[in-house]
Amino acid sequence: MATAPGTSETPRVAVARPQRASSRRKFDALIAAARDVFADDGVNGSLEEIARRAGVGIGTLYRNFPTRQALLEAVYVDEVEALARVADELGDLDPWETLATWLRQFVVYATTKRAVVEGLNLDSPLFGACIALIHRAGEPLLKAAQDAGKARSDVGFEDVRLLINGIASSNFAGDAQRERVLGMALDGIKTRS
């Protein structure tokens, strides 16, 4: 994998977005449509269906994303950036509630992104940068909960990330079962009162 999470040499996460407003709207519509099609049909979902759902022609899709890989990467980066933004938006909650809320978001994100991740090069600098961004978003939340005495001090964020990935890669009967399993995992992270 790319440079270890948290190091200053980790590549920056970036997707080149169009500058013009109309082009940006089409780009964002393609990302949203691709997210849905890949979630429904896997990484081999129809590019024509993505263009149709986005309300654009196939030529517009290819101008923005010359390859399926470029589209997969853009969808993945968009989702990782959204997950990182959620961490910033939760600052007013109790430290444990902030961490638990963000981890719930992380599970939903990771569960829905399973198909996209299957199409990515897991050794690429882009994937490494995304993992580093997840660490930069989640580590402060875990540390704040630990500093407040609400999360176990012997748990590192990489432990938590692997736990969440394990939950997300499981085939649950439904959202309720996934939430129960996540609740059990959170109980394992939380300190005993």
Which residue in the block uniquely carries the two structure tokens 């961004």? 133
pLDDT tens, residue by residue, 3-19: 334 433 434 455 666 66
pTM: 0.78
Task: Establish if 165 belongs to a structural domain.
Answer: yes
The type of residue at 8 is S
| One domain, residues 76 and 54 | no
Q: Are residues 61 and 119 in the same domain?
A: no
Residue 148 lies in a domain: yes
Q: Cα–Cα distance between 151 and 37 in angstroms, integer?
A: 37
Residue-number span of the structural domain to which 177 is assigned: 68-189
Choose among 13, 2, 9: nearest CA to 125.
2
Instruction: Look at residue 8 and tell me if it is in a domain.
Output: no
Q: Report phi then psi at 42, rounded to 5.
A: 85, -175
Q: How many domains does the chain have?
A: 2
Say if 129 falls within a structural domain. Answer: yes
Q: Is residue 146 part of a domain?
A: yes
Cα distances (Å, whole numbers) of residue 102 to 20, 112, 117, 127? 33, 15, 20, 20
Average pLDDT score over residue span 70-82: 89
- The CATH number of residue 27's host domain is 1.10.10.60
Please report whether residue 94 resides in a domain: yes
Q: What is the pLDDT of residues 94-143, one digit of tens each?
A: 999 999 999 998 888 877 676 677 777 677 788 888 889 999 999 999 99
* Cα-based angle 69, 24, 55 (whole degrees, multiple of 5): 75
Question: Does 44 lie in the same domain as 132?
Answer: no
Domain for residue 5, yes or no? no
Task: Dump pLDDT digits (tens) for 139-192.
Answer: 999 999 999 999 999 999 999 999 988 888 888 888 899 889 999 999 999 998
**Any idea what the CATH number is for the domain that residue 141 is in?**
1.10.357.10
Answer whether residue 3 is part of any domain: no
Residue in the structure block whose two tokens are 């980790």: 10
CB-based contact 168:110 (threshold 8 Å): yes
Q: How many residues does the chain have?
A: 193
Per-residue pLDDT, 90: 86
